[in-house]
Amino acid sequence: MKFETRHWAWLLSILCLSAAQSLAQSPTADVNRVLAVYDNRNTAAAVKDSQAQSDVTPPWKRYRTEILTMLAVVLLQSATVIALFVQRRRKIRLQAELNLERLELAYLSRTSQLGELSGALAHELNQPLTSILANAESGVRLLDNDPIDVNELRDILGDIVLDNKRAATVITQLRRLMIRGETSLEPMDFNHAVTTTLALARSELLARQTRVDVVLDMPDVPIRGNLPQLQQVILNLLLNASDAMAHLPPSQREIVIRTRKRERGVSELTVTDRGVGIAPQRRSEVFKPFVSTKKTSLGLGLAISRSIAQAHGGTLRFDESFDEGARAIFILPARTGDA
Ligand SMILES: Nc1ncnc2c1ncn2[C@@H]1O[C@H](COP(=O)(O)OP(=O)(O)O)[C@@H](O)[C@H]1O
Ligand SMILES: [Mg+2]
């Protein structure tokens, strides 16, 4: 057991209390008085005198030791209470600082992942913008015709609206991922987290010539989660899986991402690849911070992903029985009332 301030404070307090008790019961004062009386016992006047003297001694003088001791005990106990209060405040502050650092780390890793995707995301935005420009230009040209083909104009405007929505979705997802320190868990659908992450990673995975098979067994897998954090986990698992298959010919680079409901409302997401795999003795090692086999990576992805899984009351691990590549298993608990 660690001996903390509060243990010292309690020990001190107990010692003072026993000291106070023994002092209060101390016979010294009474013995002195009895001896004085004994010395003068033959003198009735002396006894009377002594009685008179003890009667006139003010209470403060008679009980001075006891009063002072009690005061010291009260003071010490107050000091104990204050020390405990200060210690508790310090503990709460340290916990808050730790949480903030964890969030900051998660945020940094998220933005560095976004950095990895930035080229592909620029392309993702460029496509609808180019198409909007082309459609707007042909719309302007159409206006010169007489009569104006209203149906064609309507089609052109419809395409512009669709492309605009596509670009807006990418920007909204990006902004959500960039938000700092958002931690609340909301009722949501696991499948939604998967499809929105895939929308973000689509061009990057295309550039890496990696195919993704999405198997969503149920139309809706209810969980409680924080969307940007879940997207961060899924993105990291997808990019890890793709990195692990970089040496394979493009036709063999395939990831299967699957969500399903397990017994008692528990939800499961698996990401399976046919890459280099992880040796059994490294399967827990890879979750430690700064463990990486990549030249330019920090090795924080899985450590942060696991802490996000735990903050959701869930788990993240690699399948022990799968050895044709790697299979990450991300489990989330049942949503209250769904079990
Ligand atoms: N799907 C996978 N297949 C093989 N090895 C993997 C896989 N996922 C993770 N790893 C190993 O775990 C290490 C740590 O992963 P991670 O924490 O995401 O950090 P990083 O991706 O920055 O290296 C990787 O460097 C890699 O060696
Ligand atoms: Mg990674």
pLDDT digits (tens, 9 = 90+) for 227-242: 888 998 999 999 999 9
pLDDT band at 222 (very low <50, low <70, confident <90, very high): very high
DSSP sequence for 305-322: HHHHHHHTT-EEEE-TT-
- The pLDDT tens digits of the residues spanning 62-108 come to 788 888 889 999 999 999 999 999 999 999 888 887 777 767 767 77
Residue corresponding to tokens 């650092």: 101
Could you tell me if the CB of 332 is within 6 A of ligand 1? no
pLDDT for 216 equals 93
Is the CB of 240 within 6 Å of ligand 1? yes
| Of the candidate ranges 131-140, 221-230, 291-300, 317-326, the one whose mean pLDDT is the lowest | 291-300
For 17-64, what is each residue's pLDDT tens digit?
665 555 555 545 554 554 455 555 555 555 555 555 555 677 778 788
**pLDDT at 47 (0 to 100):** 52
Banded pLDDT at 309 (limits 50, 70, 90): very high
Interval 315-323 mean pLDDT: 95
Phi/psi at 148 (5° precision): -75, 135
Pocket test for ligand 1, best of 292, 296, 317, 318 (most atoms within 8 A of CB): 292
| pLDDT of res. 31 | 46
- Ligand 1 centroid distance, CA of 194 (Å): 20
Alpha-carbon span 187 to 225, nearest angstrom = 6
Q: Which among 282, 284, 304 has a CA at the least distance from the CA of 293?
A: 282
| Mean pLDDT for the stretch of residues 292-313 | 88
Distance of CA 194 to the CA centre of its chain: 21
Lowest mean pLDDT among 57-61, 203-207, 329-333: 57-61
Nearest ligand by distance to the CA of 271: 1
- How many Cα neighbours within 13 Å face the side chain of 83? 15
Average pLDDT over residues 317-330: 95
Cα distances from 336 to residues 53, 187, 246, in angstroms, run 79, 10, 41
Query: In this structure, which amino acid lies at residue 36?
Result: A
Top-confidence residue, 183 or 46: 183
If one counts every other C-beta atom within 10 angstroms of the C-beta of residue 94, the result is 10
User: Which residue type occupies 114?
Assistant: L
SS3 state of residue 269: strand
